[in-house]
Structure formats: C-alpha cells, structure tokens
Amino acid sequence: GQSLEQPSEVTAVEGAIVQINCTYQTSGFYGLSWYQQHDGGAPTFLSYNALDGLEETGRFSSFLSRSDSYGYLLLQELQMKDSASYFCAVRPTGGFKTIFGAGTRLFVKA
Amino acid sequence: DAGVIQSPRHEVTEMGQEVTLRCKPISGHDYLFWYRQTMMRGLELLIYFNNNVPIDDSGMPEDRFSAKMPNASFSTLKIQPSEPRDSAVYFCASSFHRGQNTEAFFGQGTRLTVV
C-alpha cells in the first residue's frame, strides 16, 4: 500500500523560513507534489518533483530523495498569507490515482 | 478559462434524500477526479475518469454513490440515499496529462451537510 506522513501543525514567524517534511511508503511513484489549501478554499498546486533534488519556484522550494523516501517543502520569507494547510501527494505508477497526505497546518505569526 | 466549476457550493439535505453534485472541468483536460475531504479522513479520491470513461472507482464508499461523465464538459456525483456520515466537502478536479505532468486543478468544492 501507499502512505504519506506529514506533521500535523507547524508554527513560524513572519519573515522566517519553514520546512514541511513528508515521508512516504510506496512501492513506486512518478513524483512528489505539493498543494496549498487555505481555509474554505480549494487545494492549489505548488510544485512537483519527478527527480531527486531541489526545485525552486519563487519563495517556495521542494525537495525529493527517493533513496530516503523523503521530501520537503521549504517556504522562505514567510508572509501571513502563507498560513494554510500544505499537502504532499504521490501518484503511484500504473495509474493516475493521486494519494494525498493528511496535510500540515502552517500558522504564521506576526 | 474560468477554472473547474462546481455546483452547488453548499448543500443541506435531509437523510434519505438524493443529492447530485455537478462539475464542469477545464476545457481540454482529459482527466476528471472526484475527491471527498473530511477532518477525519483527509482528501480521499473517490473516482476518476479519462476521456469521459471511468477508470478507477475503488474509492467510492458504497453503492449509494455513483458518478457519471456524459461528455467532456460535465460530470455528476450522486448520493442516493444520503446519510449524515456523507457530510463532507466534495471536490472535483481536472488535469491534462502529458508525460509526468500531474498538476490537478481543483474546483471550489461543494460543502454537503446531511441532517
């Protein structure tokens, strides 16, 4: 089977850097995705790592290490608007069934 | 494009009633997904379609749930009869898959309350 583990909550200060980790157990997958969801809103795509290494998109970066079954989302120069839930997700090989982690709720304090 | 459009945004219904949720995917997208989100179970994939054909419905919880996609621009998720435990936010998402591109675009969801 497949499962993804994320911390349930993270708190950080405005302007700081925060890392949200995701560990997974899956027999094979195409890549690791990250989504952001504000309260009452829809999940929105942030990033995708098909290969090991770091992908950077503005203030957000995402990392994948298949050998360690581990990935993370790095948010820099935190802003209040970054307060949201963040989900890691994988698509197991052989189909298009994306599996989401339980999500990490990020609280950004002034 | 206006994005994925779902209706209604909110639905309150009595137990035993039939509920129909609607979704219009982004034009040109070839995959459509129905998800359910609850505090207890997170985001669960119920069913997905490729080119209007249901591919995997293993996430549909019971026979009370059914989904259709009569054409490329419309899909429905029906619950009959509805039960209080079906209360959740239901999301429709669509995507255009070429290679490993996996970005899914979600609608704003339908918040269903069954009383």
In chain A, residues with a C-beta closer than 8 Å to the C-beta of B59 are 97
Cβ contact A44–B106 (<8 Å): yes
Q: Are strands B19-24 and B5-7 parallel, antiparallel or unpaired?
A: antiparallel
Cβ contact B100–A45 (<8 Å): no
At a CB cut-off of 8 Å and minimum separation 6, what does A19 contact?
Answer: A72, A73, A74, A75
Cβ contact A98–B33 (<8 Å): yes
Residues composing chain A: 110
* pLDDT, tens digit (0-9, with 9 covering 90-100), for A1-45: 678 999 999 999 999 999 999 999 877 888 899 999 999 999 999
Q: What is the DSSP letter of A22?
A: E
- pLDDT of B97 reads 81
Give ∠ CA A63-A64-A68 in degrees, rounded to 5.
130
pLDDT at B99 over 80: no
pLDDT at B1 over 70: no
Single-letter amino acid code for the residue at B97: H
Q: Which residue matches tokens 């079906």?
A: B86
* pLDDT, tens digit (0-9, with 9 covering 90-100), for A37-93: 999 999 999 999 999 999 998 999 999 999 999 999 999 999 999 999 999 999 888
- pLDDT of B66 reads 98
